[in-house]
């Protein structure tokens, strides 16, 4: 039995949805611990497509309990649409639970997110516009509305009147937007409260009880390490903590409850939104990766920026997450390339830099130092074992494992569940092994 955290080791969109879906097979409980409807993943099962933002993909397993924990932010409107969508496809949502301590995204959060991005002009973050930052800002300011407040209908009316009075000053005076009517917002959210009420629980207690019955718990991170509020490429980050440490805070469990941490990284790198990206390719190869990898956001449809694998970032993700192993996704996207580059360090004003700089000005100056490896120019999407892979593809994986000093446990070669090589079953397997550096 093991409790496992799955995190994104790059800037998000690493294919965590597929990996958590795979691992959910062995999980009794899946916990989403941070973020909100800024995240998005598509899961394809038996030809049916599920587009999920908040509901963990574990929902597709009928006996798996799915908990959206206290560190998340809930947009009830979007969540209800998601629940309706999965129910319409015949999936039960009875085992879906929401923490009463999770904060609620309100209409003014979305409006302020979008208006503030516009106001920032060239300093914009490139947010998803889903109100994530303003919801977390209210949480830190201690003026937020939590699920437990949403359930208290009389208290909610008074809280909304007080809050919206203040938010209207911001909307009208700062952003030149029309004010919101507290009663209309109340009436809208009243309906959401009733729909979500059966799902609201004390999540930390429920997760603790699961640990006591020795259930397998999978903690699912959203976004990625480089988007972490404290340890990402600030200010071009999200407003929560996707790194492994965020799982304990967001779920309300102690670190001693966690057995393993699995990082998910693409065989190359992508990024959505603004901010420096040292290995970005603005040439035909970048276009090729974007086309073959279908690199468009699930939530916003935005085109993702594409580049070579960045080993500096990889090593950083190993460090700040304490990764036990890696899942490398989308290896097949590199199939047609004659040669493949990997960034092993940065050049900053003539100095070699092995570590990610904390200063964004310095990060903006980083030039990648590449090693070039031969491509394999052979299709790999039908490979089901390491022995099936062309030698150059295997060498590439070994090179990545060595560069980051971490074993690779899973290789993904396409969107469907079977397009996967599980080198070691990370939930039940030994702590270290398999595709190590030697």
Catalogue the active-site residues: 13, 41
For the bound state, the minimum distance from the C-beta of residue 125 to ligand IMP, rounded and expressed in Å, comes to 5
Q: Cα 217 to chain center, whole Å? A: 18
Q: Return the residue nearest ligand IMP (CB atom).
A: 273
Nearer CB in complex with ligand IMP: 126/375: 126
**What does the binding site for ligand IMP look like in residue numbers (CB under 6 A)?**
12-13, 38-40, 125-128, 130, 132-133, 222-223, 227, 236, 238-239, 272-273
Q: Which is nearer to ligand IMP, 128 or 419 (CB)?
A: 128
Beta-carbon-side half-sphere exposure of residue 399 (alpha carbons within 13 Å): 21
Whether 433 contacts 325, CB under 8 Å: no
* Dihedral over Cα of 81, 82, 88, 93: its sign: negative
Smallest gap from residue 232 Cβ to ligand IMP (A) = 9
- Give the SS3 label for residue 130: coil
User: Distance between CA atoms of 336 and 323, rounded to whole angstroms?
Assistant: 30
Q: How far is the CB of 143 from ligand IMP (least distance, A)?
A: 18
Closer Cβ to ligand IMP, 275 or 426, answer by number: 275
- What are the φ/ψ torsions at residue 389 (nearest 5 degrees)? -75, 145
Classified as helix, coil or strand, 410 is strand
Q: Which is nearer to ligand IMP, 131 or 407 (CB)?
A: 131
DSSP symbol at 347: E
**Least distance (Å) from ligand IMP to the CB of residue 11?**
6
3-state SS assignment for residue 70: coil
The least distance separating ligand IMP from the CB of residue 407, rounded to whole angstroms, comes to 25
Give dist(CA 339, CA 392) in Å, integer.
Answer: 10
Buried b (16+ CB within 10 A) or exposed e, 161-185: eebbeebbebbeeeeebeebebeeb
CB of 223 to ligand IMP, least distance (A): 5
C-alpha triplet 363, 233, 251: angle, nearest 5°: 155
- DSSP E strands in 351-404: the ranges are 351-353, 367-374
Cα–Cα distance measured from residue 109 to residue 361, given in angstroms and rounded to the nearest whole number: 29
Number of neighbours of residue 208 by Cβ within 10 angstroms: 15
Cβ closest to ligand IMP, residue 110 vs residue 206 = 110
Task: Give the nearer residue to ligand IMP in terms of CB position, either 159 or 233.
Answer: 233
């Amino acid at each position: 039995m093991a409790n496992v955290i799955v995190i994104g080791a790059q800037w998000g969109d690493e294919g965590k949805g597929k990996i958590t879906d795979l691992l959910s097979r062995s999980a009794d409980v899946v916990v989403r611990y941070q973020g909100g409807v800024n995240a998005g993943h598509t899961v394809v099962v038996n030809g049916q497509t599920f587009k999920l933002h908040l509901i963990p993909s574990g929902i597709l397993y009928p006996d798996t309990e799915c908990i959206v924990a206290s560190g998340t932010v809930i947009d009830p409107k979007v969540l209800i649409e998601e629940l309706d969508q999965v129910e319409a496809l015949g999936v039960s949502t009875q085992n879906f639970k929401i923490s009463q301590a999770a904060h609620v995204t309100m209409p003014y959060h979305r409006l302020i997110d979008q208006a503030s991005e516009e106001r920032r002009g060239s300093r914009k973050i490139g947010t998803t516009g889903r109100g994530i930052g303003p919801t977390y800002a209210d949480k830190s300011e201690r003026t937020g509305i939590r699920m437990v407040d949403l359930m208290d209908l009389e208290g909610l009316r008074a809280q909304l009147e007080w809050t919206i009075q203040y938010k209207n000053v911001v909307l009208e005076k700062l952003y030149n937007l029309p004010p919101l009517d507290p009663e209309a917002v109340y009436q809208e959210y009243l309906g959401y409260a009733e729909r979500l009420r059966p799902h609201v629980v004390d999540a930390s207690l429920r997760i603790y009880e699961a640990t006591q019955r020795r259930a397998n718990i999978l903690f699912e991170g959203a976004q990625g390490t480089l988007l972490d509020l404290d340890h990402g490429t600030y200010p071009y980050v999200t407003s929560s903590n996707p790194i492994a440490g965020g799982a304990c805070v967001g779920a309300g469990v102690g670190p001693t409850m966690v057995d393993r941490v699995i990082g998910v990284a693409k065989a190359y790198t992508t990024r959505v939104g603004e901010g420096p990206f040292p290995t970005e390719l603005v040439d035909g190869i970048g276009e090729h990766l974007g086309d073959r990898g279908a690199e468009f956001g699930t939530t916003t449809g935005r085109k993702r920026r594409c580049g070579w694998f960045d080993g500096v970032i990889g090593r950083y993700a190993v460090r700040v997450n304490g990764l036990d192993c890696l899942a490398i996704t989308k290896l097949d996207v590199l199939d047609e390339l004659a040669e493949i580059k990997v960034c092993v360090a940065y050049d900053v004003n003539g100095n070699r830099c092995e570590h990610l700089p904390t200063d964004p000005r310095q990060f903006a100056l980083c030039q990648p130092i590449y090693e070039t490896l031969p491509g394999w120019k052979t299709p790999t999407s039908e490979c089901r074992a390491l022995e099936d892979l062309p030698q150059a593809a295997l060498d590439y994986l070994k090179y990545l494992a060595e560069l980051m000093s971490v074993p690779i446990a899973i290789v993904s070669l396409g969107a469907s569940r079977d397009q996967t090589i599980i080198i070691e079953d990370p939930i039940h397997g030994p702590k270290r092994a398999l595709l190590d550096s030697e």
